[in-house]
Amino acid sequence: MARKLPATDVVIVGLGWTGSILAHELAGSGLNIVAIERGPWRDTATDFPPAYAQDELRYHIRHDLFLRPAQLTMTVRNSVNETALPMRSWGSFMPPNGVGGGGVHWNAETWRFLPSDFQMKTHLTERYGEKFLPADMTIQDWGITYDELEPYYDKFEYLCGTSGKAGNIRGLVQVGGNPFEGARARQYPTPPQKQPYGPTLFAQAANEMGYKPFPQPSGNLSQAYTNPLGVTLGSCTYCGFCEWFGCGNYSKASPQTTILPVLVRQPNFEARTQCEVLKVNLDDSRKRAAGVTYVDTSGNELEQPADLVLLCAFQLFNVHLLLISGIGKPYDPRANEGVIGRNYSYQVTSSVDAFFDDKIFNPFIASGAIGMCIDEFNGDNFDHGPHGFVGGGYMGAVQTNGRPLQTTTRTPKGTPRWGLEWKEAVAKNYLSSYEAVTHGGCCSYRDAYCDLDPNYTDRLGRKLMRITFDFHENELKMSQYLTDRLAEVVQKMGPRQFEKKPRTGPYDSRIYQTTHTCGGAIMGADPKSSALNRYLQSWDISNLFVLGATAFPQNAGYNPTDTVGALAYWASDAIINQYLKNPGPLVRT
């Protein structure tokens, strides 16, 4: 039996990017805020000091900063005809844990989605006709436009100090930026990062082919920057330990480096760490959230009543908590009804490996978000009519790291995996090979979804969440097309040989791709096909908001964090300026 604690105004589940943003914005309204975080407190000086933060084995291979599957995992299968089995160790994605969440160990690639991405269904139907889309594709419009979200993208980027070059300022295309991006109100807060050799060669080749290469927008800063909260970040040193690692240099945008030093000083805010929320409680009417129940490390169950509940956990765990708590109608793929678990989606990446004789790339001189990219083949920036698929992605030379365990796997085709020949190939190719990448979107489908698993439970007896997911023909065609286009640019860079590695099916949960899982409680205009309204408010429970990529109806061909951050500011604006003045549904049905 849970012990009931005194009520608070707001309870936040998870203190990563979205929890930190919401807490900081709402703290200004004077409300009492309790953030409950499953993992430990983490700060730069203590937890990722430069003395030992550059440890590939500990952080990348042994997953030191991530959630342990022993604590909570999920089951996975490719189709409804299979029995799902648990992910006993992490593979294709890396669920975060601890204060700062995924913001601690991301690569900091800070992209906006395209304006047409937010009206994907309408846009594609108008341009190509409804029959162009596969019958089982369940893409939707977001219920929000790019123009509405633009001020909140701006706010998140100025919180982070994002380093980049604008491609479109108030409708005027800027030379050297991404000409395809939506109009932004102003330049990036800081100039682009410097580019090493590989991205420079890629940009030259792309230019010669008539493309418009531009520097990838980076949350690893090109110079020191003081954000509007008064927190200062340092200049990135290109150490090449970004994704999977905490930044020991205060130069990667994270909750630690942008918000938490200010947030924790608010007298009306408190964080409870190492406390795992078990469920959201509803009151007797089942129309209103009463708070949450959580368990601390001694196994004590505690009930925290609150007037407003904000689910700010990682996407997968937001969906899990909704299913466990019995909030909203669970999605049923057979009937195509229900909303919780619906439109689970992912990201479709691919690469081209190139091997050179006369080049030294120094791959270890890296940042998680440097690189030169092109956007000609993203979203609907090109005519899909002749190709028979929709969607796209950016591509480029993105030099994230030269860590040996991750990058010595790059050897020419036919190289043995061990022995003298392997050793020779690794020694020869480490400095002189290069991997260029594509980063494609992923549409949503009727048979890709999340529900509760019938067979497996966590250590506390809760049912695990079950993921049913596979890549569809549309995405595999897209990946082949993007990879072919990328290979043309890579070939122009002059390698002795190169190898295309398009994404192929089936979806393989063992192989790391991205941690860009999304959907499962999506935003939209219709409560029959979405769990949340356009303000990320639950259609069913008006004092419950669900943040994060959980709300994406499908995934665009970009990294999600900028959009996750923008939606967090968008939702907090709606809570402060609409909800608190008149608590209740912000969209009437």
Partner 1 sequence: MITSTPQLSSPDHTGSDIAQPSRLRSGIRRRELMLTTAMTLLFSTSSVLAGVVQGGLPWEPDAGAPPTAVTPGPWMYFTADEGAAIEALVDRLIPPDPQTPGGKDAGCAVFIDRQLAGPYGSAEALYMRGPFADGTPQQGDQSPLTPAVRYRKALAALDKYCRTTYAGKSFTEIPDSEKDKVLSGLEKDQVQLEGASGRAFFELLLQNTQEGFFADPVYGGNRNMVGWKMIGYPGARYDYREWVERHNERYPLPPVGISGRPEWVRKAD
* The two structure tokens encoding residue 90: 């992490």
Q: Is 139 or 452 the residue whose CB approaches partner 1 more closely?
A: 452
Residues in the chain: 589
* SS3 letters across 370-404: CCEEECCCCCCCCCCCCCCCCCCEEEEECCCCCCH
Q: Can you list the alpha helix ranges (DSSP code H) found in 289-355?
A: 315-325
Among 248, 291, 393, 519, binds partner 1 (CB under 8 A): 248
State residue 529 phi and psi, 5-degree precision: -120, 10
Among 2, 9, 137, 492, binds partner 1 (CB under 8 A): 9
Q: Which stretch binds partner 1 (CB under 8 A): 277-285, 315-323, 356-364, 544-552?
A: 356-364
Shortest reach from residue 124's CB to partner 1, in Å: 30
Shortest reach from residue 389's CB to partner 1, in Å: 23
Using CB under 8 A, which residues numbered 386 to 405 contact partner 1? 402, 404-405
Residue 239 binds partner 1, judged by CB under 8 A: yes
* The two structure tokens encoding residue 434: 């290069």
Q: Active-site residue 516, yes or no?
A: yes
Candidates 67, 78, 440, 108; CA nearest to 250 is 108
Residue 587 CA, distance from chain mean position = 27
**Regarding beta strands 449-457 and 276-282, do their DSSP bridges make them parallel or antiparallel, or are they unpaired?**
unpaired
Among 125, 174, 207, 274, binds partner 1 (CB under 8 A): 274
Among 160, 206, 271, 277, binds partner 1 (CB under 8 A): 271
Candidates 470, 541, 501, 523; CA nearest to 80 is 470
User: Binding-site residue total for partner 1 (CB under 8 A)?
Assistant: 116
Residue 43 binds partner 1, judged by CB under 8 A: yes
Residue 228 binds partner 1, judged by CB under 8 A: no
Using CB under 8 A, which residues numbered 167 to 226 contact partner 1? 194-197, 200
Among 283, 357, 424, 488, binds partner 1 (CB under 8 A): 424
Using CB under 8 A, which residues numbered 516 to 555 contact partner 1? 543
Among 423, 491, 528, 577, binds partner 1 (CB under 8 A): 423
Candidates 588, 523, 565, 413; CA nearest to 108 is 565
Residue 303 binds partner 1, judged by CB under 8 A: no
Residue identified by tokens 């860009």 is 516
Using CB under 8 A, which residues numbered 83 to 102 contact partner 1? 83-89, 91, 97
User: What residue type is 451 in one-letter code?
Assistant: D
Residue 244 binds partner 1, judged by CB under 8 A: no
- Neighbouring residues of 430: CB distance < 8 A, sequence distance ≥ 6: 363, 402, 404, 407, 408
Residue identified by tokens 């940009």 is 203
Q: Is 275 or 521 the residue whose CB approaches partner 1 more closely?
A: 275
Using CB under 8 A, which residues numbered 312 to 351 contact partner 1? none
User: What residue type is 530 in one-letter code?
Assistant: S
Among 62, 186, 287, 413, binds partner 1 (CB under 8 A): 62
Residue 408 binds partner 1, judged by CB under 8 A: yes
- Neighbouring residues of 70: CB distance < 8 A, sequence distance ≥ 6: 459
Using CB under 8 A, which residues numbered 148 to 167 contact partner 1? none
CA-based R_g, the chain, Å: 23
Residue 285 binds partner 1, judged by CB under 8 A: no
State residue 20 phi and psi, 5-degree precision: -65, -45
Q: Is 65 or 556 the residue whose CB approaches partner 1 more closely?
A: 65
Among 23, 104, 166, 275, binds partner 1 (CB under 8 A): 275
- What are the catalytic residues? 516
